[in-house]
Structure formats: structure tokens, C-alpha cells
Amino acid sequence: MVISKLFSPIEIRGVTIPNRVFYSPMCEYSCDSDGLATDWHMVHLG
């Protein structure tokens, strides 16, 4: 049986990503004035 690496961790430049499924940054909406995600982002990205 072949096990997909899609859901296995990967380390990139010292940062461990728990799986290989991620949402790339896009300019749909801006962050707040401090550069942080807002409640909208939490609802939209889950």
C-alpha cells in the first residue's frame, strides 16, 4: 500500500508544517492595523 506524503509533516527552514495542505496567502482582505488576522479570517479560513 502506498502512503501519501500529503498528510505527513515537512520541515522548511526550521519550521515544521504538520501536513502539506495549506492555503497560500492572497490579497482578498486586509489584516488589521497591527498586521494580525481578524475574526473574518478565522471564519473564512476555519
pLDDT tens, N- to C-terminus, the chain (46 residues): 566 888 889 899 999 988 877 776 666 667 788 888 888 888 887 7
pLDDT of residue 14: 94
The domain limits of the chain are 5-45
> How far is C-alpha 34 from the chain's CA centre?
19
As given in the structure block, the three cell numbers for residue 4 are 501519501
pLDDT at 41: 80
Residue 45 near residue 22 (C-beta atoms within 8 A): no
